[in-house]
Structure 1
Amino acid sequence: MALDELTEELARSAAAGDHRALGELLARIEPDVMRHCARILPYHQDAEEASQDTLLAVARNIGRFEGRARFSTWLHIVTANCARTTYRSLKRRAAEQTSEELPMQKPDVRRVSVIAGSRLDLLDAMEALEADKPDLAQALVLRDIVQLDYSEVAEQLGIPLGTAKSRIHQARKYVQGVLGEDYR
Structure 2
Amino acid sequence: MALDELTEELARSAAAGDHRALGELLARIEPDVMRHCSRILPYHQDAEEASQDTLLAVARNIGRFEGRARFSTWLHIVTANCARTTYRSLKRRAAEQTSDELPTQKPDARRVSVIAGSRLDLLDAMEALEADKPDLAQALVLRDIVQLDYNEVAEQLGIPLGTAKSRIHQARKYVQAALGEDYR
State the TM-score, normalizing by the size of structure 2. Answer: 0.99
The whole-number CA distance in structure 2 between the counterparts of 1:150 and 1:2 is 19
The whole-number CA distance in structure 2 between the counterparts of 1:102 and 1:52 is 27
Deviation at 1:98, TM superposition (A): 0.6
Give 1:162's aligned residue.
Answer: 162
* Residues 100-146 of structure 1 deviation map (CA, whole Å, 9 limit, x = unaligned): 21244311110110000000000000000000000000000000000
The whole-number CA distance in structure 1 between the counterparts of 2:16 and 2:57 is 16
Deviation at 1:26, TM superposition (A): 0.1
Total equivalences in the alignment: 184
* Residues 44-87 of structure 1 deviation map (CA, whole Å, 9 limit, x = unaligned): 00000000000000000000000000000000000000000000
SS of equivalent residue, structure 1 residue 100: coil
Deviation at 1:17, TM superposition (A): 0.2
* Residues 2-57 of structure 1 deviation map (CA, whole Å, 9 limit, x = unaligned): 00000000000000000000000000000000000000000000000000000000
State the TM-score, normalizing by the size of structure 1. Answer: 0.99
SS of equivalent residue, structure 1 residue 101: coil
Matched, 1:47 2:47: yes
Cα RMSD (Å): 0.6
What is the aligned-residue identity percentage? 96
The whole-number CA distance in structure 1 between the counterparts of 2:139 and 2:151 is 11
Give 2:59's aligned residue.
Answer: 59
Give 2:174's aligned residue.
Answer: 174
The whole-number CA distance in structure 2 between the counterparts of 1:111 and 1:172 is 25
* Residues 126-171 of structure 1 deviation map (CA, whole Å, 9 limit, x = unaligned): 0000000000000000000001111100000000111000000000
Deviation at 1:182, TM superposition (A): 0.7
SS of equivalent residue, structure 1 residue 67: coil
Deviation at 1:99, TM superposition (A): 1.4
User: What stretches of structure 2 of length at least 5 have no aligned partner?
Assistant: none
SS of equivalent residue, structure 2 residue 106: coil
The whole-number CA distance in structure 1 between the counterparts of 2:115 and 2:168 is 23
After superposing the two structures, state which structure 1 stretch, 139-148 or 94-103, moved more: 94-103
